[in-house]
Structures are given as C-alpha cells and as structure tokens.
Chains A and B, each alone.
Chain A
Amino acid sequence: MRGAYIFVIFSSLYACLLALSIVGVQFGQAHYVPADPRHTSLFGLSPAKMGQPIPASLTRFAPQIVAVHTDCLSCSVADPMAVKQLFSSRDVLNVVVAPDFRDYRAIEKSTPGANVIYLQPEDIKDLAPQFGPCLYRFDRNLRLIYVQPSRVSVYAKEDLIADRK
C-alpha cells in the first residue's frame, strides 16, 4: 500500500514521543537545577530604602541615574538589546556586577562612549538589586529617590530621563 510506511512510522514515533513527554519531561524536571545568573551574595537582601545615600563605591561618579546589571547575558533571559540601549545612553551610569563580564565587555566595545564600570556585588549591596538591569535614581545630594519596581528596563529608563528633563 502506498504510503503505509509513512503512516506506521509516524504513528509509532508520535506514540513514543507522547509517552516520553508525559513521563520523561516530569523526570527531567524533577532532577533539574536551573543556573542562577546572579551572585549568591545578592540573595535575600532587604530592599533599598528611599532617601538612603548612594553606595560609597559610586560616590566619585556622582551619578543621577544608575543601571545595575546583575545577570550574565549568556545564561539568562536578560535582553542584550536592553543592555545595549542602556550602554549607549550617556546619562546612565552602568554598573556591571554580573558573574560573567565577557558579554558586557563585548557590548561595551561595540558601543562607543559607553558609561560602564565593573564592580563586585559587595560594592553595591546597599542597592539590593532583585533583577538586572535594575534602574535607580538619585537626587543632587546623591540620595535614592527611585528604584525600578519590575523588569521593564527600557521604558523605565526613558521615563526617568523624560522626568529629569
């Protein structure tokens, strides 16, 4: 019969894959530990408080807008386009504390005039970033007046700049 092989192999393959998706996926999920893109020293920190002073490691830059990058780009869902956009913005001080700097260095190289510094997570513990990139705004006395509430980095940054102008 024409095409009988196709039907038989398709049916048996589909049955095997369906069984695997029911049994194997659950088994794999039970034994799976996802990689965390953040340093363990940033876990469980109490959130930053309004009015608190800027961390000592950032004082000499006297920034008004700070973006803290905590995630390694190659092992997280962080969007490299958002990082690139923040790097190309001159009025944002980008602080990278990700476990792996290489991806950020590559983006920095391709973004002329990027305002980026690389620090250890201990240096910005006071800001307690829960995700990355996370945006902060400081007033003229370098006191915290805004913390980005959720992962909507690009829009939050534009709002911040518009608000400042």
Chain B
Amino acid sequence: MPRRISLPTVSESAPNLTIVEAAVALTLPIAIVTLVESFILAVVARWMPGSRVALFVLGHGHWLLALALAVGCMPACRRGGQGALAIAAGMAIALFCIFRFRGSHEWEGTFSLYDRNPHYWEFAAVLGATMAALGGLAMSRFSQPKHTWTLVAAATVVLATLVSWFDACTYSSMSLFAPTRHLAMLVVALGVLGCFGFEILRERYSDEKKSIYDH
C-alpha cells in the first residue's frame, strides 16, 4: 500500500501571531496609505509642482498605492493565515480612516472630492492587500519572515505618524475639511507602542516567575 504523504498546510506550518505581530499587521496598511499620501503631496506640492511627474503621480497614484501595499504587507502575510487575516482587518481599519480622517492627499470620492468616482482608489487598495495576501501565503509554505520584520513594521507606523503630523503642521490646504489623519495615526502608533510595552513587561514578568520556580 502506498504511503500517504501529508503536505503541511499554511495553518500547520505557521505558528500563532504574537501580540506585537498582530498589532503591527493591523496597523501596517493605514501606515503605508499615509506614507503614500504624504509622498504624493510632496511630489505634487513641494518637490515638482506642476511638472509632468506631478501630473503622472496625481493620475496614477492609486497604482503606486497598490504596489506599496502589496510589497509592504507581504511579510505579515508570510506569517500564514493569521497574518493574512490581520492584514485584511488592517485594510478595514485603513478604509475606515481614509473615509473618516482627511489625510495629506484627498482621495477621489471623499471630502472635497466627494462627487468623483472613488471606486478605482478602493479597488487599488484592496488589490494591493490581496496581492500581498496571495503572495505572502504562497511564500509562507517555504519560509517565514525574519523576526526583525515586526521592528521594521513598527518603525514604519511611527514614521507614518511623524510624517502625517509634519504635513498637518506645515501644509495649509484649501480643503474645507480639517486634516485629522494625524490624530488617527497618533492613536494607531500609541496602540502599537502599547503592545510592544505590554509584550516586554509580560516577558519580564514570566522571566521573574521562572527564576522564582528555579530557586
């Protein structure tokens, strides 16, 4: 009788996400969206206003967003099904923030541009996250991301928060809607840093407990 070979599935090969990994994966999409928005603002209004590059970035910014999300979220999805689930939930948070908190760049279909068609921006964002999930899940069968990915992702979240505050403080827009994304990013960054602190405290507490039992 031939021997049955069971291939390892995604969920078997990938261990559970830690609290820090979950927090980082949930906040990474909105951090990437905020960074892309700041980049578009910088190109259009600060570095090359009125140039062909600025017009190109304005017209094709949604594809840039899709690419950034696909590349940026892939390490989280390489942690397996839970990573992909966290990125999907993070995309839900990102879409909530895009429609509720005005960032550096106004999206089609939101705020002052409410009368324009928003679907291709949403489509690009969801497409980017889907590509990250598919690519990450496929790669998760062969390798796991390095442990430092959580640090890099947390640094991205903090950087996006700082950039959003810089934009909100230095750039005055004609839009009738107040920029509030920086406030949302502050909440997000505090959440990530809080999870980091919680994890450090928990490890220290468990080490102390272990040393007491050893004695």
Contact = CB atoms under 8 A, between A and B. Distances in A.
A10 B93 contact: yes
B177 A102 contact: no
Nearest to B99: A21
Interface residues of A, number: 40
A107 to B, nearest CB: 4
Residue with the greatest number of chain B CB neighbours at <10 A, chosen from A17, A29, A102, A103: A17
Contacts, number: 122
B212 interface: no
Contacts of B44: 74
Contacts of B97: 17
Contact of A75 (B50, B101, B173): B173
Interface residues of B, number: 48
Interface in A62-121: 71, 73-77, 80-81, 83-84, 102-107, 110
Contacts of A103: 49-50
A99 B189 CA distance: 37
Contact of A25 (B22, B96, B100): B100
Nearest 8 pairs between A and B by C-beta? Answer: A32-B178, A106-B50, A74-B45, A103-B50, A35-B172, A5-B22, A28-B178, A103-B49
Given A3-B17, A32-B178, A107-B50, 8 more contacts: A3-B82, A9-B191, A14-B93, A25-B100, A71-B174, A74-B49, A80-B50, A106-B51
Interface of B: 16-19, 22-23, 25-27, 44-46, 48-52, 54-55, 58, 82, 85-86, 89, 92-93, 96-97, 100-101, 112-113, 171-180, 183-184, 187-188, 191, 195
